[in-house]
């Protein structure tokens, strides 16, 4: 067992941190105000290999390992506590990976080579107005094959990156029923370009936080898609979605850790200088005991997150571990990291007193941003608990039965 990062991993962390400090942190308020990440910043991220980095070199990526991807997620979370840029990064890292693994060469060439340069977006569209947790029960989008094409009808809602996809172009990996009688074995995944596709209309939502990246929806009315836009095999879409969710949840864990570390450092600087009753407030146990708790929480979940990433590298490079093993660790990461990060940031706001309630400090952006991940982006906390219990007890104990 070795808890040390390799020299290459340490250098990557240093590189991403320096990049973030120079190019990202000074801009996060502006990004939130403008509700958009500047094209020039996306271009620079692409040049450093920070856009869909898990994509193979053939399609413009850097074939980044999951440990290295988590390091970047952590550093971007540290650099952009609002989580707008980390969300863009991790959605594309997870779903770009799935498209790279299962998509056709034509679609990969068209979209991944551009996404890795910041000239297209690659997202995921599972959730519908009828619900996101109960995929088998709630999803109504259907795809039918006619005359060598796919015709899609349905509506996706609460989808990250709709405005980015409309602006830049790109694809959302969209789950649709292709065999409605087959439960989870009747879903397929399609690469759907939102921009300039006949039959697609979009909606944008106003979020509580992470406002630099959009959340919205899109309706598909008789949308015609070439056969090559089916991702992987027919009726295997549910499995590809679960594989991508495990990757995304691990990266979410890493980015929440980075944001919490930044918040705790801001808080520690403050409590070491702010005075009350003739002493620095950091010398009061009422302040330093919560610090000890939050720091310990963040360090403990970091071990689980990096173990998940390590297991993913073992799976994809050496065929060790199963998707089930990884789903368990990814769910534990996603269950705890957003909650620990939120609690740590909330505590730091207490330490700051009145100024913690202003926009002088970025803590309020962090609180709003990280909350998206405990509410539900990439799966709610209860769904994480269900996955963990399923892996411990077996599928026959699923509270809603096997479908």
Task: Pull the structure tokens for residue 222.
Answer: 């008789």
Give residues 360-379 in contact with ligand FAD (rule: CB under 6 A): 372, 375-379
Taking CB under 6 A as the criterion, the residue among 8, 283, 382, 395 binding ligand FAD is 382
378 carries an active-site annotation: yes
Residue count, binding to ligand FAD (CB under 6 A): 24
Q: How far apart are CA 286 and CA 256, in angstroms?
A: 25
Angle of CA points 55, 58, 59, to nearest 5°: 55
Strands 149-160 and 200-204: unpaired
* Residue 202 touches ligand FAD, criterion: CB under 6 A: no
Q: Is 160 one of the binding residues for ligand FAD (CB under 6 A)?
A: yes
Report in angstroms how near the CB of residue 381 gets to ligand FAD at its nearest. Answer: 6
Minimal distance, residue 360 CB to ligand FAD, in Å = 25
Alpha-carbon distance of 55 to 196, in angstroms, equals 25
Out of 21, 164, 378, 391, pick the active-site residue: 378
Judged by DSSP in three states, 196 sits in coil
Is the Cβ of residue 59 or residue 158 nearer to ligand FAD in the bound state?
A: 158
Question: Which residue, 65 or 246, has its beta carbon nearer to ligand FAD?
Answer: 246
Among 132, 154, 232, 237, binds ligand FAD (CB under 6 A): 132
- Can residue 380 be called a binding residue for ligand FAD (CB under 6 A)? yes
Q: Which is nearer to ligand FAD, 159 or 257 (CB)?
A: 159
Binding status of residue 400 toward ligand FAD by CB under 6 A: yes
CA distance 206 to 320: 42
Length of the chain: 403
The CB-of-158 to ligand FAD minimum distance in angstroms stands at: 4
Q: Which residues in 377-401 are b (16+ Cβ under 10 Å) and which e? A: bbbbbebbebbbebbeeeeeeeeee
In b/e form, how buried is each residue of 18-53, taking b as 16+ CB within 10 angstroms? ebbeebbbebbeebbeeebbeeebbebbbeebbbbb
Residues known to be catalytic:
378
The residue ranges that bind ligand FAD (CB under 6 A) are: 123-127, 131-133, 158-160, 207, 215, 372, 375-380, 382-383, 399-400
């Amino acid at each position: 067992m070795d808890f040390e990062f390799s020299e290459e991993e340490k250098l990557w962390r240093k590189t991403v941190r320096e990049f973030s400090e120079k190019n990202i942190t000074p801009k996060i308020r502006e990004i939130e105000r403008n509700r958009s990440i500047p094209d020039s910043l996306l271009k620079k991220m692409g040049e450093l290999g920070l856009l869909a980095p898990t994509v193979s070199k053939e399609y413009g990526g850097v074939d980044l390992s999951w440990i290295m991807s988590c390091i970047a997620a952590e550093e971007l979370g540290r650099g952009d506590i609002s989580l707008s840029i980390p969300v863009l990064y991790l959605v594309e890292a997870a779903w770009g990976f799935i498209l790279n693994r299962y998509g056709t060469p034509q679609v990969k060439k068209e979209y991944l080579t551009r996404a890795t340069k910041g000239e297209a977006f690659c997202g995921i569209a599972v959730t519908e107005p009828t619900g996101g947790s109960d995929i088998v029960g709630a999803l109504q989008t259907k795809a039918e094959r006619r005359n060598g094409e796919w015709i899609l009808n349905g509506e996706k809602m609460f989808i990250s990156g709709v405005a980015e996809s409309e602006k830049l172009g790109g694809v959302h990996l969209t789950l649709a029923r292709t065999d409605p009688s087959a439960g989870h074995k009747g879903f397929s995944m399609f690469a759907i370009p939102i921009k300039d596709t006949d039959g697609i209309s979009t909606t944008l939502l106003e979020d509580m936080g992470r406002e630099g990246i959009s959340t919205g929806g899109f309706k598909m009315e008789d949308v015609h898609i070439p056969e090559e836009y089916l991702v992987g095999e027919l009726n295997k879409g549910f499995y590809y979605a679960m594989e991508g969710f495990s990757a995304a949840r691990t990266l979410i864990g890493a980015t929440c850790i980075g944001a919490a570390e930044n918040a705790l450092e801001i808080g520690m600087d403050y409590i070491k200088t702010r005075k009350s009753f003739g002493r620095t407030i950091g010398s009061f146990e009422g302040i330093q005991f919560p610090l000890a708790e939050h720091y310990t929480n963040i360090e403990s979940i970091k071990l689980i997150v990096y173990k998940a990433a390590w297991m993913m590298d073992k799976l994809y490079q050496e065929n060790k571990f199963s998707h089930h093993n990884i789903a368990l660790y990814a769910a534990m990461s996603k269950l705890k990291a957003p909650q620990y990060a939120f609690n740590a940031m909330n505590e730091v706001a207490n330490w700051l007193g009145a100024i913690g309630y202003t926009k002088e400090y970025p803590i309020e952006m962090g609180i709003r941003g990280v909350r998206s991940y405990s509410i539900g982006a990439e799966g709610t906390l209860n769904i994480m608990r269900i996955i963990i219990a399923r892996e411990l007890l077996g599928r026959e104990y699923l509270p809603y039965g096997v479908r």
